[in-house]
Amino acid sequence: MLKSIRKQFPILDSKNTRGQKLAYLDNASTTQKPKVVLRAISDFYQNFCANTHRGVYQLAENATQIFETSREIVQKFINARYREEIIFTSGTTESINLLAQAWGEENINQNDEIILTEMEHHSNLVPWQILAQKKGARLLFIPITADGQLDMAVYEKMLSSKTKLVALTHLSNVLGTINDINFIVKKAKKFGATTFVDAAQSVAHLALDVQKINCDFLAFSAHKMYGPFGLGVLYGKREILEKMSPYQYGGEMIREVNKEKSSWNNLPYKFEAGTQNIAGAVGLAMAIGFLRRIGFAKISKHERSLSHYAMKKLSKNKNITIYGPSTRGAVIAFTHDFIHPHDLSAILDAKQNVATRSGHHCAMPLAKKIGVEATCRVSFGIYNTKEEIDRLMKGILSAEKIFNK
Amino acid sequence: MDIYQQNILDHYKNPRYFGEIDDADHTKCLENPSCGDKICIATSCKFFRFSGSGCAISMATADILLEYVIKNKLTFRQILRLKKENILDLIKIDLQPVRLKCALLPLEVLQKMLAEIEKK
Ligand SMILES: Cc1ncc(COP(=O)(O)O)c(C=O)c1O
């Protein structure tokens, strides 16, 4: 099984000058792309390339159909009720900016409160900061406990009639914490608040059902789920999307344009101004098919066993501090007592061809909270192996030899 | 691997000019926002010390730079004329663009501080 999955990713057979295979442990940044996805994209460009919704010739009609089929595949994947609820964007970041501008502009007023958490990626923080500054609204942050979980008691006390939005990540890209979004959404609804889930980190690892979560909005990026760069999704409940004004203006999003005044197209096109990333949507649909064929039960089982194995190995090293809860997604951030994360990542790369990431991982408030400037992070995908984790551990030993005190 | 040469590790593990200066005339701190490295340089009567936290490259380079400046009694003018190439000559390693930022942070701190002193 693992062997046939790895075969889909030729990059995993590439070797460095020392003859070591790539151990790619930076999947939280972006995943590698399987051959089926790459082939579908190049096939689209070779055989079906035309702009959507515009031509009456067959090629354009085919392209439109392919694009809309991709939308339906996304709809089924997250179990959205209607196809119009799936809006294509350039990625999670654009999805959140769309939301902050199109929804936030009309729904957030002075003294309103927006609840976020202390573990947000900058892309689910900065757009809300700007909105809050503009409107005179207030940001509140659900604190994290010592073991890296959201403090639910504090959250429940934060909620009030002033709460207009609760926006949070499903899975922390640093701590690996899996947040209980069903519970959080349910509590927010009691106060009539709108809810947004940033699923960028969970979409490739956990099955998502937007009707079950019952959130109003949810976003993710294709490139973190074995799909291409430059494409993302914003899911929104139809009745809310219908009331929102467009976010960008131009072609395709309009119904009628006069010199002085225009009216807007139906959902989802109202939010898809200009030519879309059609090949990207094809790639995403293929990536979804790829994930579905493996199945989330298998994916979770494999990734959980990798996380568990890595946690066990890392915690045996007395010089290493791991951040976050013991039960977690496939993300582990840690620091070393006497090796700076950047030096560690550089040596892991040079000595073992193990790709890890070091820094604040676009979550500076979180880094401050846990009291570190930077951490070294490993994050797993469906193709990773225990042997790669053994090489991670060997690389850490090499680094310790270089930096021994 | 070549970047962790003996001279880098030596200056990183046993820095000569790391520390604070009591009643320093001037202090300047800068951070590299992409990696969180932070370097402060303090000066008093042509003497310099650096503090902060960061990777081996940024810390060792700060120490090597201050050693060079102090031992050769460089003037403000000479320090302000130092460039990337001078730093690479001093530390004697080749760096990829990302790590180059680590090596250039100390010079940036030092030059910004001197520019501010000159303005006063
Ligand atoms: C939790 C989380 N949210 C949002 C993003 C932003 O995703 P993108 O850069 O694809 O827009 C990331 C990416 O690292 C993330 O980890």
Cα-to-chain-centroid distance, residue A225: 8
CATH number for the segment(s) A2-30+295-403: 3.90.1150.10
Enter the pTM of the model: 0.94
Strand order in the sheet with A163-169: A86-89, A232-236, A217-221, A194-198, A163-169, A113-117, A138-142
Look up residue B105 and give its DSSP letter: H
pLDDT of residue B79 exceeding 80, the answer is yes
- Interchain proximity A373–B36, CB inside 8 Å: yes
Q: Three-class SS string for chain A?
A: CHHHHHHCCHHHHCECCCCCECEECECCCCCCCCHHHHHHHHHHHHHCCCCCCCCCCHHHHHHHHHHHHHHHHHHHHCCCCCHHHEEEECCHHHHHHHHHHHHHHHHCCCCCEEEEECCCCHHHCHHHHHHHHHHCCEEEEECECCCCCECHHHHHHHCCCCEEEEEEECECCCCCCECCHHHHHHHHHHCCCEEEEECCCCCCCCCCCHHHHCCCEEEEEHHHCCCCCCCEEEEECHHHHHHCCCCCCCCCCEEEECCCCEEECCCCHHHCCCCCCHHHHHHHHHHHHHHHHHCHHHHHHHHHHHHHHHHHHHHHCCCEEEECCCCCCCEEEEEECCCCHHHHHHHHHHHHCEECEEECCCCHHHHHHHCCCCEEEEECCCCCCHHHHHHHHHHHHHHHHHHCC
What is the spatial distance between Cα A98 and Cα A247, in angstroms, rounded to a whole number? 6
Which chain A residue has its CA at the smallest distance from B99's CA? A342
Closest CA to A66 of A50, A86, A78: A50
pLDDT of residue B1 exceeding 60, the answer is no
Q: What is the ipTM of this complex?
A: 0.87
The list of chain A residues with pLDDT below 70 reads: 405
- For the record, the structure tokens of A181 come out as 């979004």
What is the spatial distance between Cα A321 and Cα A335, in angstroms, rounded to a whole number? 5
pLDDT score recorded for residue A62: 92
Q: Is B67 exposed, middle or buried (0-12, 13-18, 19+ CB in 10 A)?
A: middle
- Interchain proximity B35–A403, CB inside 8 Å: no
Ligand 1 in reach of A200 Cβ (< 6 A):
yes
What is the spatial distance between Cα A144 and Cα A174, in angstroms, rounded to a whole number? 13
Locate the domains of chain A by residue range: 2-30+295-403, 38-292
Q: How far is the CA of A180 from the centre of ligand 1 (A)?
A: 19
pLDDT score recorded for residue B23: 85
Closest CA to A174 of A70, A283, A322: A322
Q: What is the pLDDT of residues B8-64, one digit of tens each?
A: 999 999 999 999 888 889 999 999 877 778 999 999 887 899 999 999 999 999 999
What is the CB-side half-sphere exposure of residue A329 using CA atoms within 13 A? 31
Q: What is the pLDDT of residues A324-353, one digit of tens each?
A: 999 999 999 999 999 999 999 999 999 999
Identify the band that residue B106 occupies on the pLDDT scale cut at 50, 70 and 90: very high
Which chain A residue has its CA at the smallest distance from B10's CA? A403
Q: Quick check: A23 and A376 in contact, CB under 8 A?
A: no
Q: How far is the CA of A123 from the centre of ligand 1 (A)?
A: 7
pLDDT score recorded for residue A405: 63
Closest CA to A223 of A292, A169, A287: A287
The verdict on whether A362 is a catalytic residue reads yes
Give me the CATH number covering residue B23: 3.90.1010.10
Distance from CA of A36 to the nearest CA of B (A): 33
- For the record, the structure tokens of B67 come out as 């050693």
Q: How far is the CA of B24 from the centre of ligand 1 (A)?
A: 43
Closest CA to A383 of A20, A27, A128, A140: A27
State the residue range of the domain holding B44: 3-119
| CA pseudo-torsion sign A258, A259, A263, A269 | positive
Size of interface A-B (CB pairs under 8 A): 42
Residue whose token pair is 């959250």: A155
CATH of the structural domain A38-292, one choice from 3.40.30.10, 3.40.140.10, 3.40.640.10, 3.40.50.720: 3.40.640.10
Main-chain dihedrals φ then ψ at residue B58, nearest 5 degrees: -70, -40
Residue whose token pair is 């960061």: B54
- For the record, the structure tokens of A318 come out as 């007395």
Question: Using omega within 30 degrees of 0 as the cis cutoff, is the peptide bond preceding A268 cis?
Answer: yes
> What is the residue type of A279?
A
Ligand 1 in reach of A375 Cβ (< 6 A):
no
- Interchain proximity B1–A374, CB inside 8 Å: no
Give the helix/strand (H/E) hosting B101. Answer: helix B97-119
pLDDT score recorded for residue A116: 98
Q: Three-class SS string for A288-346?
A: HHHHHHHCHHHHHHHHHHHHHHHHHHHHHCCCEEEECCCCCCCEEEEEECCCCHHHHHH
- Asked if the C-beta of B93 comes within 8 angstroms of chain A's C-beta atoms, the answer is no
Closest CA to A24 of A376, A353, A312, A390: A353
- Interchain proximity A347–B99, CB inside 8 Å: no
Closest CA to B102 of B59, B48, B52, B73: B59
What is the number of domains present in chain B? Answer: 1
Identify the band that residue B119 occupies on the pLDDT scale cut at 50, 70 and 90: confident
